[in-house]
Amino acid sequence: MTLTREDIAKYPFLADAAEEVRRVNLEIQSLDNPELESIIKRAANRIREALENNPPRVSYRKRQEDIEIPSFPVAIIMAASSGSNYIKRRYALGEAIRAYNLLIEEEREKILEVAKAFNWRIRQVKDIIGNRRFDFALSFIDYLRNTKPFHEERFKLVNKPLIKGDVYLTKREAARLLQEEVRKRIEDKLNMEIRLKLPDRLLNQIENLKRKYAGYKEKRILEEAPKEMIYEAFPPCIRQLLSAAKSGQHISHLGRFTLTSFLLNIGMKIQDIVDIFRSSSDFNERLTRYQIEHIAGSRGSGTKYIPPSCETLKTHGLCPDFEACGNVKHPLASYRRRMRTFKKE
């Protein structure tokens, strides 16, 4: 099946899209041309949509191939040049979710064509196994590679039909795996080093994005923090700090801040946190309450703080077991993941 220009606009991460961009002779140096303003504007909007939507997603504009296709590589350049890992990850996921939403509406033949662009060993089937109809059979090696970050029970290999080395998938499941492929491919592009001097017009757009969304990372973590407590789901750093506080051991200023901000963000009351620190030899209830209320945002600037990142805790010797949390970068993210596991159990 031959991909149309409409398909390329839908899935601009494919090799055919790169050929299309080369055909229109779009180069970094030419982006200073006022005639390309609509492309630059759409590229910036792609990133904004990923940052502002929750979950992140980028829209698809029908019948605007002349803008949709070239705006994708420009958005890649802008996101990569931002130097912000948060912007990069968010944008990659936004484009991946967009691809998923488009793929689930496609015919099976089109999904097969996109899958082959990732060198998947996949074929169409019309098999019914256990009262379920399956649309594709995918090599279990390709399947495992893409489901590694997944935590849903339905994607565990033990819960999937596996016949002669192939995992059987529905159309929606195949699209979900392709979403992961798209995310990884775009993240790889975003990690490239931009060596060329970018036009001022593009640099100004990048700086505007960085300024506007500087606080979005903290806001998202705060919004997504689970407002319930299961002690067994606490990450090792928090369990260690909590144990030290209850036994009256000395805790550094950063350690107290980490423990307090974590407990506040999962819903613990201020009075209960005050009581945790009562065993400390230098406990002062008035001062302790004031500090906790300040971190909670009920005093001072009104900002509710979140704990430091895992990398910061590791640097200051407050992370007792970095490997135990897996590939997470924040204590609240670790807690969310552990909460899901405990709920399933």
* Helix ranges (DSSP H) in the chain: 5-10, 15-23, 37-52, 65-81, 85-103, 108-116, 140-147, 171-190, 200-212, 216-224, 236-246, 253-265, 270-276, 285-296, 310-315, 331-344
N-to-C CA span, the chain? 45
What is the DSSP secondary structure assignment for residue 267, as one 8-state letter? T
Give the residues across from 141 on adjacent strands. Answer: none
The pLDDT score that the predictor gives to residue 302 is 73
163 with 193, same domain: the answer is: no
Three-state DSSP at 129 gives: strand
47 with 89, same domain: the answer is: yes
The pLDDT score that the predictor gives to residue 228 is 61
- Residue for token pair 């009920």: 298
Phi, psi of 151 (to 5 degrees): -120, -5
pLDDT tens digits for range 60-104: 999 899 899 989 988 998 898 888 888 888 899 999 999 999 999
| Local confidence band at 161 (pLDDT 50, 70, 90 cut-offs) | very high
The pLDDT score that the predictor gives to residue 298 is 85
CA pair distance 80, 57, nearest whole angstrom: 18
314 with 240, same domain: the answer is: yes
233 with 327, same domain: the answer is: yes
Q: Quick one: tokens of 123?
A: 């074929």
Q: Are 232 and 263 in contact (CB under 8 A)?
A: no
Phi, psi of 324 (to 5 degrees): -65, -25
Of 295, 314, 343, 292, which Cα lies nearest the Cα of 236? 314
79 with 210, same domain: the answer is: yes
The pLDDT score that the predictor gives to residue 278 is 86
Q: How much of the chain exceeds pLDDT 70, in percent? A: 88
248 with 297, same domain: the answer is: yes
Strand intervals (E) in the chain: 122-129, 132-139, 162-163, 166-169
Question: HSE-up of 329 (CA within 13 Å, CB side)?
Answer: 6
Number of neighbours of residue 91 by Cβ within 10 angstroms: 29
143 with 72, same domain: the answer is: no
84 with 114, same domain: the answer is: no
- Residue for token pair 């509406």: 105
pLDDT at 243 over 60: yes
Q: Are 167 and 201 in contact (CB under 8 A)?
A: no
The pLDDT score that the predictor gives to residue 337 is 83
Q: Tell me the torsion sign for CA atoms 129, 132, 137, 140.
A: negative
In degrees, to the nearest 5, what angle opens at C-alpha 274 toward C-alphas 271 and 275?
90
pLDDT at 112 over 70: yes
| Local confidence band at 169 (pLDDT 50, 70, 90 cut-offs) | very high
Q: Tell me whether strands 166-169 and 162-163 are parallel, antiparallel or unpaired.
A: antiparallel
pLDDT tens digits for range 181-225: 999 999 998 887 765 667 777 788 888 888 777 655 555 555 555
44 with 139, same domain: the answer is: no
Q: How many domains does the chain have?
A: 3
pLDDT at 238 over 90: yes
Phi, psi of 222 (to 5 degrees): -65, -45
The pLDDT score that the predictor gives to residue 338 is 83
pLDDT tens digits for range 5-24: 899 999 999 887 766 666 55
| Local confidence band at 227 (pLDDT 50, 70, 90 cut-offs) | low
The pLDDT score that the predictor gives to residue 203 is 82
The pLDDT score that the predictor gives to residue 27 is 61
Higher pLDDT, 174 or 334: 174
208 with 227, same domain: the answer is: no
Distance, C-alpha 324 to centroid of its chain: 20
What is the domain range of residue 38?
Answer: 5-103+184-214
Residue that finishes a domain, picked among 120, 150, 176: 176
The pLDDT score that the predictor gives to residue 28 is 57
Q: Which of 160-174, 183-197, 228-242 has the highest mean pLDDT?
A: 160-174
237 with 124, same domain: the answer is: no
Number of neighbours of residue 235 by Cβ within 10 angstroms: 25
- Residue for token pair 């979403």: 179
Of 205, 195, 206, 199, which Cα lies nearest the Cα of 26? 199
How much is the mean pLDDT over the chain? 85
The pLDDT score that the predictor gives to residue 23 is 56
CA pair distance 168, 137, nearest whole angstrom: 4
In one-letter notation, the amino acid at residue 293 is: E
Question: HSE-up of 243 (CA within 13 Å, CB side)?
Answer: 10
116 with 142, same domain: the answer is: yes
